[in-house]
Every structure is written in C-alpha cells, then in structure tokens.
C-alpha cells in the first residue's frame, strides 16, 4: 500500500476521491491538505507550503481547481513528490506540457487524469471498434449547469473554459476511441451577454476522413446527455452515457452499473507509480484550445444561476 495525500477537499474530493481511496487496494489515505476542510481519521494540514516542507511522505492527489493547481503541481514536483492531477492537467496546453517536462527532469511520476476514460464500457468499446472503419461520429454532451456547477461563476470567467469544462470529458473519450487524429474544423460559441465564456458550442471536426459533429449545451434541463454515436463500415456503436454503458446495433453490450471510474483511476495511478511514468495526455485540452482559436462567437441571453 502506498501512502496517499489528498490535496484540496472540495465536492469532488468528498464525493469521488475519498470513497475511491477507501476502496483502493493500492492506496491508504495518510493526510489531507485543505485551507477550509478536514478529513476525519487522518493528519490534516491547512497550509500547503508547510505540508510540503514538514508533511508526511506519500504520493499527492491534487483536486484543487485548475488555476490554483498549476502552482501547486509545480511546487510538488520541485519537492520531489509523485502527483496525480484532476482534469484538465493545467489552464493551458503549454503549461501542461511544461509540467510533464518538469516531472521528467525531476524524476517524479505524474499522471494527468481524465476520469471518464475509466468508465466500465470503454475497453469494450475500443475492442468493438478495433478493425472497423469509422464513417461518421455524432456527439452530444449536454447537462444542466445549475445542477452540476451551482453558483460557480468562475466557470464563465476568462480561463474558466465555460461549457468546455464539460466538453473536455467528451474529448477525453473521443481521443482514445477514434484511431485517427481528431481535428476541429469549425466552432460556434454561444456566450451569454453577461458572461465571458460559452454556454453552448457546436463543433465540426474530422477524424481522418470521417466527419465528427459535437454539440454541448449547459442550459439543458432534465437528465444529462453524454452520448457518443460512432457509425462504422460494420455497424453503429453507441455510448449512451459517457463511458458507463455500451450498445452496438441496438443491442446492449455493457449495461450501466455502479460508477467505478475513480476506483479505476486510482488503480491506473498505482501503475504510473510502479513504472515511474509521466502520463500527461494534453489532447482533450488541445482540442478545446483549438476550438477557441477557430470559434465564431455569438451573443445569447444573459445567464444567471
């Protein structure tokens, strides 16, 4: 068992990381670092810098928001710590690539996580697609931001990614499902008139010769739609809910079960540690940056939580 230190105790740490660590066969939670919250039954540190100097040994799992996380990750690497980062790996692609470079130089292990890749249906989807020719891809990735980010104004501020906070999850799956490189060819962003970042995006992309369309709207009400449909030369694959379930040609191949994404993520971090690897895949963030580079922006109604 490897000692683990959980840094940044917010919603995602409480709801996803803590249960996954508790269930992990690889990690024991040794300490928590947070300015405002504590975790019962372990050492708690309120100051991150103090922790890095005097805190216990162990690998770090950093769950703080992207902007704060960048400086924290740099400090952790400089202090010789192994780190797993929540997604996205950094506020920009250049900064993410730089983190990977710093970890390589320092000889520390580093994992930039994309939790959706660890859904139970993902491996089976890759297996099904193997050897088939992709003809067309259709993606919808909509949810109600009032439910998923209630009151979190920062998602609509510059650097907050807007709807791409969500869409990078779709990209994280698409980049490991599609064999050819994915490129954005045009993007339309709807930006509420009282906000800076898009609440909706419509993307045209290509994966090799196959056209790929993606739409994502944060004003969606009701059940979330995280749907990827891939038409091939021999049938059509549907991931109806992220990486959690799978259908092919109308038949269910993987039924939606218990969400074990974060447990699988921690198992993957154990592998990164065992092999002393630096695993920072910037492609999902790259596609977001490319979309912003190409985007035609239109103004839409003001949005308030």
Residue 212 C-beta: closest distance to a second copy, Å: 12
Q: CA triplet 68, 269, 42: central angle to 5 degrees?
A: 65
Q: Does 158 engage in binding with a second copy (CB under 8 A)?
A: yes
Per the listing, tokens 């895949």 go with 281
Q: Which is nearer to a second copy, 58 or 89 (CB)?
A: 89
Q: Does 297 engage in binding with a second copy (CB under 8 A)?
A: yes
Q: Does 53 engage in binding with a second copy (CB under 8 A)?
A: no
Residue 174 C-beta: closest distance to a second copy, Å: 12
Q: Does 288 engage in binding with a second copy (CB under 8 A)?
A: yes
Structure tokens given for 177: 């499902």
Q: Does 196 engage in binding with a second copy (CB under 8 A)?
A: yes
Helix runs in the chain, H state only: 11-12, 18-23, 48-54, 66-78, 93-106, 122-129, 145-148, 164-177, 261-274, 283-294
87 noted as active-site residue = yes
Given strand 134-142, what is the order of strands in its sheet?
251-254, 246-248, 235-239, 225-232, 134-142, 210-217, 200-207, 182-192, 296-300
Q: Which is nearer to a second copy, 4 or 178 (CB)?
A: 178
Buried b (16+ CB within 10 A) or exposed e, 173-210: bbbbbbeeebebeebbbbbbeebebbbbbbbebebeeb
Which of 167, 182, 203, 280 binds a second copy (CB under 8 A)? It is 182
Q: Which is nearer to a second copy, 15 or 101 (CB)?
A: 101
Residue 193 C-beta: closest distance to a second copy, Å: 11
Which listed residue (16, 75, 87, 256) is catalytic?
87
Spatial contact of 86 and 261, defined as CB atoms under 8 Å apart? no
Which of 15, 28, 46, 94 binds a second copy (CB under 8 A)? It is 94
Residues near a second copy, by CB under 8 A: 91-95, 97-98, 101, 157-159, 161, 181-187, 196, 283, 286-290, 292-297
Name the residues annotated as catalytic. 87
């Amino acid at each position: 068992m490897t000692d683990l230190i959980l840094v940044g105790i917010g919603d995602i740490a409480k709801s996803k990381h803590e249960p996954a660590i508790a269930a992990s066969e690889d990690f024991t939670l040794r300490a928590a670092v947070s300015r405002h919250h504590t975790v019962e039954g372990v050492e708690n540190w309120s100051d991150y810098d103090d922790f890095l100097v005097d805190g216990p040994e162990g690998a770090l799992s950093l769950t703080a928001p992207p902007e704060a996380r960048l400086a924290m990750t740099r400090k952790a690497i400089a202090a010789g710590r192994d780190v797993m980062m929540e997604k996205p790996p950094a506020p920009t692609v250049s900064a993410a690539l730089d983190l990977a470079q710093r970890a390589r130089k320092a000889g520390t292990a580093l994992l930039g996580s994309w939790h959706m890749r660890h859904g139970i249906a993902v491996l089976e989807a890759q297996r099904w697609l193997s050897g088939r020719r992709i003809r067309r891809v259709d993606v919808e990735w909509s949810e109600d931001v009032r439910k998923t980010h209630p009151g979190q104004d920062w998602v609509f501020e510059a650097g907050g990614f807007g709807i791409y906070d969500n869409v990078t999850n779709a990209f994280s799956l698409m980049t490991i499902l599609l064999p050819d490189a994915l490129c954005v060819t045009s993007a339309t962003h709807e930006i509420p008139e009282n906000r800076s970042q898009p609440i909706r995006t419509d993307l045209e992309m290509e994966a090799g010769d196959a056209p790929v369309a993606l739409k994502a709207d944060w004003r969606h009400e009701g059940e979330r739609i995280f749907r990827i449909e891939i038409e091939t030369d021999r049938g059509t694959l549907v991931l109806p809910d992220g990486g959690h379930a799978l259908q092919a040609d109308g038949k269910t191949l993987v039924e939606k079960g218990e969400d074990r994404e974060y447990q699988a993520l921690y198992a993957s971090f154990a592998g990164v540690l065992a092999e002393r690897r630096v695993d920072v895949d910037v492609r999902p963030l790259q596609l977001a940056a490319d979309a912003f580079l190409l985007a035609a922006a239109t103004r839409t109604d003001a949005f308030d939580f």
